[in-house]
Structure 1
Amino acid sequence: MKYSWVILVFFFGINGGKAQNTEFFSAADTFLKTHVENGRVDYASIVKQPLALNSVLKLAEKAAIDLQDPNVYQAFWINTYNLLVIKGVVDNYPLRSPLDVDGFFDKLRYNVGGRYITLNAIENELLRARFPNEPRFHFVLVCAGLGCPPIIGEAYMPNRLNQQLHQQTAKALNDPMFIRNKGDKVFVSQLFDWYKVDFDRAGGILAFINRYRTTKFSKDILLDYYPYDWRLNVK
């Protein structure tokens, strides 16, 4: 009987965790569909009515996410990162840029899954370090600056994650404002420089870009970087 009880607790613990995860993804999806449009966030409305944001982040506090299902793990942390960026802006609103807040990415800590963590730790330790061959993270983790690829008005879902990663990466790399072709030179975001090691693992910056481009660049074209735009992605 003792062993039956242990198995029963284990079974309900797993299924309870799955139900809680489903609730988080559903709440995140509803929140983002309500407050994000065309890559911009309606921070002012969230400041006035913060309950929905705080509620979904409360679910993140109680989450139990592990690496057993990489799609669940990645989707959870991508959504959590984007929601916490919004939380950081809302808590300091109004502001012109996330960089107006000291330590926005590397000092502010948030309770997720029972531990306090920074945005940089989510990006670099929980995602990039554990999935070093996934450079598409850089096109879905949104830093609140206009220089970032745009945030989408929905949550990343485990059962559609690969499709969503592909979609957002292709969208950015075919956007003439993000990849700027000037004759014999292509100007790209500084994020390709900052995270060059990730793109080198994927065959190099140009090869990675061409993988998602409708119109490919010549292998002889010159690459340069344009300055990052840290102005707030406010609606």
Structure 2
Amino acid sequence: MKISTIGSLLLAAGTLTAVAVTGFSPVPSPTYAVAATSALVDHSAFDKLLKKHVSAQGLVDYKGFQADEQVFNQYLAMLSKTPPAANWSKAEQMAYWLNAYNAFTIRLILDHYPVQSIKDIGAKIKIPFVTTPWAAKFFSIAGEKMSLDNIEHGILRKKFDDPRIHFALVCAALSCPRLRNEAYTAAKLDGQLEDQGRDFLNNPAKNKPGKAAAQLSKYFDWYKGDWTQNNLSVAKWVNKYATVKMDDNTKITYLDYNWNLNKQ
């Protein structure tokens, strides 16, 4: 995932009960109506591959994906041919783009495997004005060449106004949120995103919240504008999911980002 300033990088079935913290109000989660009829895209093939080749900790068996490459490519081909339509529900559209981002990221790694880091791929790119793997247009949706950046910044961040996407998009690095070992679906989307938030904020390898001082993922720095829109704040988002709470005076620093591949 590309970050804005350096080539910059790169986020419920019911709303969590707010834990009372002085000065903070609960962060509302968007709720998405599910259409009465399901979308034309069936994510079950991707769901089976994720269950088979991704651990509970989000580590990926890339060799396993290579062994099931035919099934995986068929799923990607279906995504390419069936973009979200205007009559899809918001949840269906969002689930489609989250799955597409994560699936095409896996495809990118497989295209260059073995690699130690997705950033190693950037050094191999020989396309004018393209210096990162997230900017490379290596797949198509509805006949239009697209990049991972197009999905993240041009569609998900722009259209859905939901910072929780940063808990769900996975850039194949150890400091990314956990790659969920199930596909996103419209029916379960809110619960899945809430679970991703709890997992991310309470994983000490990725975030270390605290009252006096907090060491957070660089996501909360890189995407600060997303977390502070709608009169919210980084602290309010952290407090929604973390078991250890912050307040207005908490000193925030950011953890170094581990770009090593999220492989088993």
- TM-score normalised by L of structure 2: 0.77
Deviation, 1:180, is 1.7
Alignment of 1:71-220 (within 5 A): 71-102=91-122, 103-132=132-161, 134-181=162-209, 184-201=212-229, 203-220=232-249
User: Which residues of structure 1 form unaligned runs of 5+?
Assistant: 1-16
In structure 2, what residue type is equivalent to 1:90?
L
Question: Is the 8 Å Cα contact of residues 62 and 112 (structure 1) preserved in structure 2?
Answer: yes
**Bigger mean CA offset, 32-41 vs 64-73:** 64-73
Question: Is the 8 Å Cα contact of residues 173 and 213 (structure 1) preserved in structure 2?
Answer: yes
Question: Is the 8 Å Cα contact of residues 117 and 260 (structure 2) preserved in structure 1?
Answer: yes
Deviation, 1:190, is 0.9
**Cα distance change of structure 1 residues 188 and 67 upon mapping to structure 2, 3 Å threshold:** farther
Deviation, 1:221, is 1.2
Following the alignment from structure 2 to structure 1, what is the Cα–Cα distance between the partners of residues 249 and 83?
A: 48
Does residue 56 in structure 1 map to residue 84 in structure 2? no
Q: Which has the higher contact order (CA 8 A, sep 6+)?
A: 2
Higher strand share: 1
* Identity across matched positions, percent: 32
User: Which residues of structure 2 form unaligned runs of 5+?
Assistant: 1-36, 123-131
Following the alignment from structure 1 to structure 2, what is the Cα–Cα distance between the partners of residues 194 and 42?
A: 29
Deviation, 1:31, is 1.5
Higher helix share: 1
Deviation, 1:85, is 0.4
Following the alignment from structure 2 to structure 1, what is the Cα–Cα distance between the partners of residues 46 and 157?
A: 22
Deviations, residues 78-114 of structure 1 (Å, cap 9, x unaligned): 0010000000000100000001112310014211233
Does residue 29 in structure 1 map to residue 58 in structure 2? no
Deviation, 1:20, is 3.3
In structure 1, what residue type is equivalent to 2:98?
I
Following the alignment from structure 1 to structure 2, what is the Cα–Cα distance between the partners of residues 67 and 36?
A: 32
Following the alignment from structure 2 to structure 1, what is the Cα–Cα distance between the partners of residues 46 and 222?
A: 29
Deviation, 1:183, is 7.7
In structure 1, what residue type is equivalent to 2:50?
L
Q: Count how many residue pairs are aligned between Structure 1 and Structure 2.
A: 216
Following the alignment from structure 2 to structure 1, what is the Cα–Cα distance between the partners of residues 103 and 146?
A: 14
Following the alignment from structure 2 to structure 1, what is the Cα–Cα distance between the partners of residues 50 and 94?
A: 17
Question: Is the 8 Å Cα contact of residues 20 and 59 (structure 1) preserved in structure 2?
Answer: no
Q: Secondary structure at the match of 1:40?
A: coil
